[in-house]
A and B are shown apart, each in its own frame.
Chain A
Amino acid sequence: MDMAQASVDNESMCDAEVVRCQTSLAQAYDPSPHNASSAFWEAVECVETPLETLVKYLRSADKRKDIQARTRILAAILERTRALNELWARKALGHVVAPEGERCALVDDLWADLSERMVQALLDPARPFWEENFLHCLRFERRHVYRSFMLREGRWSDPGGQKRMRIPRVMLVSLDQRLQQEDGSSSAFDVEDERAQVMLQAVERHELLHMVLRLPERLQAVILLIFWEDRTEKETARILGISDRTVRNRLREALRLLRDTLEGEKEVRYG
């Protein structure tokens, strides 16, 4: 199957999925009990009512300026997602080493930030996808909240805030080694920052992703394609529709930023 055909098939699949989702939502929403009846509130608090449907109820209540209903539906949504969001907050901060009390406070703050952002998004009728795919919108919101939080807390930008981050042992060991290629040569890239290349290639896949998150958005795709998907610079340039030179420049800049971060952490932690 060629790329064009795969693309068409994927898009058809997505369209079909969207139609199926919208139909099931319409079915769930249309026969909703009359507002303010006990049956309505049973539906709101029933865990089997799709979250997308609750968003429709919520926005409907907000449009009618029914504050009481709005508050109660919001509370139901937040309660339904509480366990998942708390788990996310603990997971997202899992790699940040901190004393237990501090970690608990950070998790609490991150969860509170997310709840605030969720309320804003849920009440915004200009964001219709919440009514189609609640969980994905939640993931997206969490991504924004996570980045803002890490920057605000100085975990990503303040060198002092990064000092407790775990550095993978395999990466530390590799700092003094040269990269060995299959053919016995010691370097495969035409990039000046060879040491940073070695560091990145030695990093575990999961750690690499956490590092990539710290980079400006415009540099992330290049790093992901080269180090995560093992693409060459030429392939990367073709995929992104940019020149080889731009790829090299972005790679160099990203590696410099990552090297500074990693070496800063190593110096702070090990002297």
Chain B
Amino acid sequence: MDREQEEAVLRITASYVAELEAGLHPRLSDYLARYPQYAEAIADFVAYYHAVEAELPPAGEVSQVAAERSESSDEKIVYMRQRRDAKRLRKVAEGGLDSPALKDITDPGR
């Protein structure tokens, strides 16, 4: 699919999502029938959207939660430490037991 076609699919699927968000219950079959040349890409996106994206809260709500979480420093510290440790563990896995990252993880004073 070239860039022009991808832009077309973006606009079509944006319209599908906008209808969904407006509570209009769009039917996949209507979109496939209307845009048969993009049927595969539309079906692919719609399956993905309902499987993964549809359950996500609206972006505004997530920003609000993130802002609140950043104020809750204890939770943020725990979360950041988990992420940092995950990254270091990967480095250990790549570098073996001699990896400096191992010392960071096992250092009790960190």
- Please list the residues of chain A having a beta carbon within 8 angstroms of any beta carbon in chain B: 3, 6-7, 10, 14, 17-18, 47, 80-84, 87-88, 91-92, 101, 104-105, 108, 126-129, 133, 135-137, 139-140, 142-143, 146-147, 206, 209-210, 212-213, 217-218, 220-221, 224-225, 228-229, 231, 235, 239-241
Contact = CB atoms under 8 A, between A and B. Distances in A.
B51 A213 contact: yes
B66 A82 contact: yes
B83 interface: yes
Contacts of B41: 217
A101 B86 contact: yes
A91 B54 CA distance: 11
A-side interface mostly:
helix
Given A139-B49, A225-B28, A240-B36, A10 B19 contact: yes
Query: Chain A CB within 10 Å — which of B29, B32, B42 has the most?
Result: B29
B40 A220 contact: yes
B62 A206 contact: no
23 contacts: A7-B30, A7-B34, A10-B19, A14-B11, A14-B18, A47-B63, A84-B66, A88-B56, A101-B89, A104-B86, A105-B87, A129-B11, A133-B14, A136-B10, A137-B10, A139-B53, A209-B48, A213-B51, A221-B32, A221-B40, A224-B46, A229-B28, A240-B39
Contacts of B17: 136, 139
B15 A143 contact: no
Interface string B63-85: 10110010000000000001101
B29 A108 contact: no
A142 B48 CA distance: 10
Given A84-B66, A231-B29, 20 more contacts: A10-B15, A14-B18, A84-B56, A87-B62, A88-B56, A91-B55, A104-B85, A136-B14, A139-B49, A142-B52, A146-B52, A147-B48, A217-B41, A220-B43, A220-B44, A220-B47, A221-B32, A225-B29, A228-B28, A235-B29
Contact of A229 (B27, B62, B66): B27
Nearest to A18: B11
Contacts of B42: 221
Given A14-B18, A92-B52, A217 B44 contact: yes
Closest 6 CB pairs of A and B: A83-B66, A209-B51, A221-B43, A104-B86, A217-B40, A136-B14
A15 B46 CA distance: 21
A199 to B, nearest CB: 18
B103 interface: no
Contacts of B15: 10, 14
B86 to A, nearest CB: 4
A225 B47 contact: no
Given A213-B48, A220-B43, A225 B32 contact: yes
Nearest to B37: A241
Nearest to B33: A239
A220 B89 CA distance: 38
A126 B47 CA distance: 26
B11 A217 contact: no
Nearest to A147: B48
A241 B17 CA distance: 24
A56 B96 CA distance: 45
Nearest to A87: B62
A129 B53 contact: no
Given A129-B11, A210-B51, A221-B43, A135 B59 contact: yes
